[in-house]
């Protein structure tokens, strides 16, 4: 069975919104913290081969950039990955290889996870990530935590997210102060 792993760039106050989305005022807030060591650490978290699960907005943003990006381990990996896309407009998908998740996204994701193949990684796609956790479809979460407070924007864990527990698998600090925190989904919230 394939693992489904969520990866998110996130501020200390939980914001995951990127520039270019809905007139977000903090253009490219991750840029000052990017280093080659951080890029290499992040790409190592992807593993050798992987596929992607993307919501339509993330797919559209990425398909405008990655196919034209210069060759690099990150660009080559993203372009080679099968992109499973949750969308109501599958006929307009072009950046491949791709596959429509289907009319019932959760059933489609269960089907994808049950097939042999590499891990499936979810990047961005904030609408999708909360429901993946709620439906018990996510196996792991990697938070790429930046040492900033943004004050406003889309948050990774939206108000009303179902409580659950995570187990820390690893943490790695980059020279610029970004921390990569890997967690395994541990199920229901454990209390006192």
Q: Is 110 helix (H, G, I), strand (E, B) or coil?
A: helix
Helix (H, G, I), strand (E, B) or coil at 154: coil
Cβ–Cβ < 8 Å for 147, 128: no
Q: Which phi and psi (to 5°) does residue 173 adopt?
A: -95, 140
Record the pTM.
0.89
**How far apart (Å, rounded) are the C-alpha atoms in residues 147 and 177?**
6
Domain range for 111: 4-188
SS3 60: helix
Overall number of domains in the chain: 1
CA distances to 68, 90, 123, 131 from 156, rounded to whole Å, are 28, 26, 11, 11
List the pLDDT tens digit at each of the 192 positions of the chain: 899 999 999 999 988 887 666 677 777 888 899 888 888 888 888 778 999 999 888 899 899 999 999 988 888 999 999 999 998 888 889 999 999 999 999 999 999 999 999 999 998 777 788 888 888 899 999 999 999 999 888 888 777 778 889 999 999 999 999 999 999 999 888 888
Q: Contact, 123 vs 45, CB < 8 A? A: no
Q: How many CA atoms lie within 13 A of 19 on its CB side?
A: 7
CATH of the domain at 57: 3.40.430.10
């Amino acid at each position: 069975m394939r693992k489904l792993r969520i990866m998110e760039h996130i501020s200390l106050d939980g914001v995951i919104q990127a520039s270019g989305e809905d007139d977000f005022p903090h253009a490219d807030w991750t840029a000052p913290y990017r280093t080659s060591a951080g890029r290499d650490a992040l790409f190592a978290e992807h593993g050798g081969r992987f596929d992607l699960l993307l919501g339509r907005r993330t797919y559209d943003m990425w398909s405008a950039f990655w196919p034209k990006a210069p060759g690099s381990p990150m660009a080559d990996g993203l372009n080679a990955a099968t992109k499973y896309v949750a969308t109501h407009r599958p006929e307009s998908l072009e950046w491949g290889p791709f596959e429509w998740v289907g009319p019932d996204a959760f059933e489609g994701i269960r089907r994808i996870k049950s097939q042999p193949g590499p891990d499936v990684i979810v990047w961005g796609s904030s609408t999708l990530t909360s429901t993946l956790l709620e439906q018990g479809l996510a196996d792991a979460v990697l938070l790429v935590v930046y040492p900033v407070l943004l004050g406003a924007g889309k948050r990774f864990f939206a108000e009303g997210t179902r409580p659950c527990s995570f187990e820390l698998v690893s943490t790695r600090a980059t020279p610029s102060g970004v921390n990569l925190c890997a967690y395994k989904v541990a199920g229901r919230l454990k209390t006192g």
